[in-house]
Homo-oligomer: A and B are copies of this chain.
Amino acid sequence: MEIRVVEKVLKVNDELAQAVRDRLRPLGVATVNMISAPGSGKTTLIERAVEALGAARRIQVIEGDPDTTLDAERIAATGAPVVQINTAGGCHLEANLVLRALEQLDLAPGDLLVIENVGNLVCPVSFDLGEDKRVAVVSVTEGHDKPAKYPKLFRCADLVVLNKIDLLPHVDFDVARFREYVEKLQPGVPVLDVSCRTGEGVDAWADWLRALGPADAVR
């Protein structure tokens, strides 16, 4: 009974995710879904991307959180258009929420839509939001074992960002082991080492986003 209902929820979600795609692809808007544990630095990565891409490539943002508008306020301060979705305690975003958020954005051809999911390494993975690319973010303070413990995310990620690498001297994080775990789960997936604090790797992150053309809106 429970499982039947969950399957129905996922089926409805898939249909609504397709509705998101049907709206965004003809527009030539590429969409990215960022998934990580709470506090891995997703919002800061988006702030840096908005700065790096500048006027040449407009980023618009959907922020997901169980509560508060703290992240949306940070993004708004960069000048990027942003909509906050509060899930009222819910543990992930769903496509119906994204569809409704799209009503609040004025997306134009060539825009990049970045969706910051609720901080959670498990539940968001099961819900297609109509995105073209999925980005997994792990900060080095979380431990190199996270891909092994939360394998589903790393099997479906198009990019893995290893964040806060400026903290490597202060934590017991084995970068080689981390990369081995990721490579085992999904051979060939790119892994970017980034520190938003020192700026290391921010260019590579911005380049990856910049390279997402309307063509990537079909995978």
Contact = CB atoms under 8 A, between A and B. Distances in A.
A91 B148 CA distance: 15
A39 B120 contact: no
A148 to B, nearest CB: 5
Interface string A38-78: 11000000000000000000000000011110100000000
A149 B70 CA distance: 8
Name the residue in A9, A38, A123, A143 with the highest tally of chain B Cβ atoms < 10 Å from its Cβ.
Answer: A38
Nearest to A143: B39
Nearest to A2: B5
A186 interface: no
Task: Please tell me how many copies of the chain the complex holds.
Answer: 2
Contacts of A167: 141, 167, 170-171
Interface residues of A, number: 38
Contacts of A120: 91, 120-123
A101 interface: no
Interface string A134-152: 0000010111011011111
Contact of A39 (B122, B146, B148): B146
Contacts of A150: 38, 66-67, 119
A32 B180 CA distance: 34
Give 5 closest A-B pairs by Cβ, nearest first.
A39-B142, A91-B122, A141-B141, A37-B38, A39-B143
16 contacts: A37-B39, A38-B142, A39-B139, A39-B142, A39-B143, A39-B146, A67-B148, A67-B149, A70-B148, A70-B149, A89-B122, A90-B122, A91-B120, A118-B122, A120-B123, A167-B170
Interface of A: 1-2, 5, 8-9, 37-39, 65-68, 70, 89-91, 118-123, 139, 141-143, 145-146, 148-152, 164, 166-167, 170-171
